[in-house]
């Protein structure tokens, strides 16, 4: 009788457990459908929130894999990688999880690891054209990197800057665009003619582009890693965030806020290129204004001013399509000299990404960074370019897979140590174009509205005056642009899979 009672009790417990599990699975499936719809609507943050809710209800490989691709679309590559690995823990044979993990590895520049995953997919699906294409494209990247490393040995590397003779290039009689002056210099007249010329989708002559890039290189070489900016009393100063190749929105900034001049100075805080289809027009414009107003127009390096990002997200393809492979190599060399940080009136610290994994970093430490190189995966330079703020105190692993996430207490200690008022950074889409984080001490500004023609966000810029550094924000919507889809020059076959 006792045995029978225990047996019945065990069966009831198992039955209730199965019933509960079945109910949770059904609930999670309903939430997943809502999340899938949010993803299709390009509302990736809502999709992530719903996938997370479903995972908490009843986790499985599909939910982690789906959240992984949503993280990929938000460019949170670190979280995407974690979720892809988690999906494979639940189901080691779930093929989509290998796609997700490979995409995350690709986005993080870990091409050998990505190749291993694509190789597995191709082995499981030997006749799948998509699997074959992704494997072959990734293999090309790995082969190219190995070749470039083999020929770039120490000081024996041949820099493109030493091979370009722009002055010997001829201007064809049929060229009808703007001209540099007789000494090959940028003038106000040149810039006033350049903007409307580029706006009509015409290309500046390659001789002039080469001359502009070479002159910019000379200026950038003379600058420190951290540039000090002085804004006099009553004078306005404007800070812009990412523009990401959205040339027509860049022109709109100048329409709203006035063209750059000695009386109207600007700082553009990195990520000038990639994503948008008009990165060449953006960088030529920004370089032109830097040459025209070298002491009143400032440029900082972003994480997308690097060869790996440019090869994946479109700038390399665009430069090669509009000009030459050598010009892209020259841009890569020039980007290495962009300053990493600016300090305005010794009170506002401006960097592209964020703060550091250590507490004792001073402005002197930042000045001492050897910036003339491609960014590594760790260290002060990587953290300046890649880190993001978080709402909770302390530090944690980056959602992007590079840099860190840092809390309000980290910001407060850095500001106090360096006698600063607040930080301005970019690097991160915000729906209004800006965000006042960490008790208004860590401000994000993002200047690419309707990012990639899909996100529906506004862009923004910040203005201050020398005697009033309280930030003032101007938000604006995207403006129409010619038919040219974002990422059209990117290495699409190596990027993200769909749902």
pLDDT, tens digit (0-9, with 9 covering 90-100), for 292-338:
999 999 999 999 999 989 988 999 999 999 999 999 999 999 999 99
Does the pTM of the predicted model rise above 0.85? Answer: yes
User: Euclidean distance between the first and final Cα of the chain, in Å?
Assistant: 55
Parts of the chain belonging to CATH 1.25.40.10: 2-151
- The residues assigned a catalytic role are 304
Helix (H, G, I), strand (E, B) or coil at 230: coil
> What b/e string do you get for 27-41 counting C-beta neighbours within 10 Å, with b at 16 or more?
ebeebbebbbebbee
pLDDT tens-digit readout, 443-492 = 999 999 999 998 899 999 999 999 999 999 999 999 999 999 888 998 75
CA distance 306 to 324: 18
CA distance 49 to 38: 10
pLDDT tens-digit readout, 50-60 = 999 999 999 99
pLDDT tens-digit readout, 360-370 = 999 999 999 99
Is domain 2-151 classified as CATH 3.40.50.300? Answer: no
Q: What percent of the chain has pLDDT over 70?
A: 92
For domain 162-494, which CATH number applies: 3.40.50.720, 1.10.760.10, 3.60.21.10, 3.60.21.70? 3.60.21.10
pLDDT of the residue at 1: 46
pLDDT tens-digit readout, 259-302 = 999 999 999 999 999 999 999 999 999 999 999 999 999 999 99
In this predicted structure, the answer to whether residue 212 has a pLDDT above a threshold of 90 is yes
Parts of the chain belonging to CATH 3.60.21.10: 162-494
- The answer to whether residues 213 and 159 touch, using CB atoms and an 8 Å cutoff, is no
CA distance 436 to 240: 15
Q: How many CB atoms lie within 10 A of CB 225?
A: 20
pLDDT of the residue at 17: 56
């Amino acid at each position: 009788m006792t045995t029978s009672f225990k047996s019945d009790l065990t069966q009831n417990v198992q039955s209730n457990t199965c019933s509960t599990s079945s109910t949770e699975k059904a609930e999670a499936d309903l939430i997943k459908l809502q999340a899938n719809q949010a993803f299709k609507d390009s509302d990736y943050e809502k999709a992530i929130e719903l996938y997370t809710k479903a995972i908490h209800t009843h986790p499985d490989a599909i939910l982690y894999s789906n959240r992984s691709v949503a993280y990929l679309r938000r460019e949170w590559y670190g979280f995407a990688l974690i979720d892809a690995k988690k999906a494979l823990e639940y189901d080691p044979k779930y093929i989509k999880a290998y796609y997700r993990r490979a995409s995350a590895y690709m986005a993080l520049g870990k091409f050998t690891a990505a190749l291993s995953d694509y190789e597995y997919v191709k082995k499981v699906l030997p006749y799948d054209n998509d699997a074959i294409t992704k494997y072959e494209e990734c293999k090309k990247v790995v082969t190219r990197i190995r070749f470039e490393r083999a020929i770039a040995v120490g000081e024996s590397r041949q820099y493109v800057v030493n091979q370009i003779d722009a002055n010997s290039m001829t201007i064809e009689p049929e060229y009808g665009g703007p001209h540099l002056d007789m000494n090959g210099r940028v003038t106000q007249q040149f810039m006033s003619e350049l903007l409307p010329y580029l706006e009509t989708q015409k290309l500046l002559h390659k001789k002039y582009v080469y001359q502009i890039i070479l002159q910019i290189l000379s200026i950038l070489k003379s600058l420190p890693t951290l540039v000090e900016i002085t804004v006099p009393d009553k004078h306005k100063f404007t800070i812009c965030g990412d523009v990401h190749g959205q040339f027509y929105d860049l022109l709109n900034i100048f329409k709203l806020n006035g063209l750059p001049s000695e009386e109207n100075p600007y700082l553009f805080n990195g990520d000038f290129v990639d994503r948008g289809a008009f990165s060449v027009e953006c960088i030529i414009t920004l370089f032109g204004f830097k040459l025209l107003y070298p002491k009143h127009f400032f440029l900082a390096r972003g994480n997308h001013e690097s060869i790996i990002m440019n090869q994946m997200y479109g700038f390399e393809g665009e430069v090669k399509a509009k000009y030459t492979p050598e010009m892209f190599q020259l841009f890569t060399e020039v980007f290495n000299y962009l300053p990493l940080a600016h300090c305005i009136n010794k009170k506002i610290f401006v960097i592209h990404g964020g703060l550091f994994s250590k507490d004792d970093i001073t402005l002197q430490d930042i000045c001492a960074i050897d910036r003339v190189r491609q960014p590594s995966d760790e260290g002060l330079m990587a953290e300046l370019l890649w880190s993001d703020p978080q709402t909770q105190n302390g530090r944690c692993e980056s959602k992007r897979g590079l840099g860190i996430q840092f809390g309000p207490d980290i910001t407060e200690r850095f500001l106090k140590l360096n006698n600063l008022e607040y930080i301005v950074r970019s690097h991160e889409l915000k729906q209004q174009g800006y965000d006042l984080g960490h008790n208004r001490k860590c401000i994000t500004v993002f200047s690419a509205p309707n990012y990639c023609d899909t996100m529906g966000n506004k862009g923004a810029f910040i203005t201050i005056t020398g005697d009033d550094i309280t930030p003032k924000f101007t938000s604006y919507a995207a403006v129409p642009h010619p038919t040219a889809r974002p990422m059209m020059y990117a290495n699409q076959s190596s990027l993200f899979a769909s749902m």
